């Protein structure tokens, strides 16, 4: 019988990360959920334990000690690390004249530095048997929206990071890809809707931009991530898979 594979997902307590944790558990993976919300990570792990081994790890991905510790704990408690999903992300609004330096550093720290730190400590653990890393970027890597320079820079940066890692670590049997979601029904989207003058009108405008006629779900993204991590994608590395319901194709 094949040994059970293990996933480590950052930002796995809510939204897209939670959807990824659930989908990989459905596929039989042991799951480590790393999140700054320790209580949320614990609740998510508890929901998975009836099916697979699952652990919760509390910490900030932008902290080197926390990133190293998350990888070490995953390997110690689950026995191995096969898939790393760098999903943790934050979204801070403000043009460059209004954004504070602290907000810029925090945005880049979580979204880009976090992926670097997690990968830095995961790669040596994967070298013996190979593995897959999937970075969660965004349609913001391809098309920009006013007021999000730090977010757009972080998500575009993840694509360059993905490509270079694919070159560096492909010879070691480690594939690295990115998934770029569009509008997805998550707490981040809810928080954005709370800032607009007319929530219902904003939702109508979002739906008008969706050729498939609906907003995406965390499960939609999770299916793409699982595919890229699977043997079905064994010849795919350095790629960016857009999961946006054809929004960019429609010019939005």
The catalytic residue among 121, 151, 183, 235 is 151
Length of the chain, in residues: 252
Which three-class secondary structure state does DSSP give residue 4?
coil
Task: Tell me whether residue 151 is one of the annotated catalytic residues.
Answer: yes
- H or E element, residue 8: strand 6-10
Round to whole Å and give the CA distance between 235 and 57. 32
The alpha carbon of 112 is separated from its chain's Cα centroid by a whole number of angstroms, namely: 11
Cα angle 24-153-175, degrees, rounded to a multiple of 5: 35
Instruction: Return the active site residues.
Output: 151
């Amino acid at each position: 019988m094949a040994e059970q594979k293990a996933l480590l997902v950052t930002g796995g307590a809510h939204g897209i990360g939670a959807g990824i944790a659930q989908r990989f558990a459905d596929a039989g993976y042991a799951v480590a959920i790393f999140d700054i919300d320790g209580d949320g990570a614990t609740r998510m792990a508890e929901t998975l334990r009836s099916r697979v081994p699952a652990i919760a790890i509390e910490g900030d991905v932008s902290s080197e000690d926390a990133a190293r510790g998350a990888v070490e704990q995953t390997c110690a408690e689950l026995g191995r690390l096969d898939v790393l999903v760098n999903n943790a992300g934050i979204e801070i609004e403000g043009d460059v004249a209004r954004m504070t330096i602290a907000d810029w550093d925090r945005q880049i720290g979580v979204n880009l530095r976090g992926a670097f730190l997690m990968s830095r400590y995961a790669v040596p653990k994967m070298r013996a048997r190979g593995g897959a890393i999937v970075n969660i970027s965004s349609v913001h890597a391809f098309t920009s929206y006013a007021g999000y320079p730090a977010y757009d820079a972080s998500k575009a940066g993840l694509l360059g990071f993905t490509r270079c890692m694919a070159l560096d670590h492909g010879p070691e049997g480690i594939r690295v890809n990115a998934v770029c979601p569009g509008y997805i029904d998550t707490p981040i989207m809810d928080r954005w809707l709370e800032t607009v003058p007319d929530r219902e009108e904003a939702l109508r405008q979002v739906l008008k931009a969706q050729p498939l006629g609906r907003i995406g779900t965390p499960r939609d993204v999770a299916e793409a991530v699982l595919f890229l991590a699977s043997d079905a994608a064994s010849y795919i590395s350095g790629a960016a898979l857009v999961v946006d319901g054809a929004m960019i194709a429609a010019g939005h």
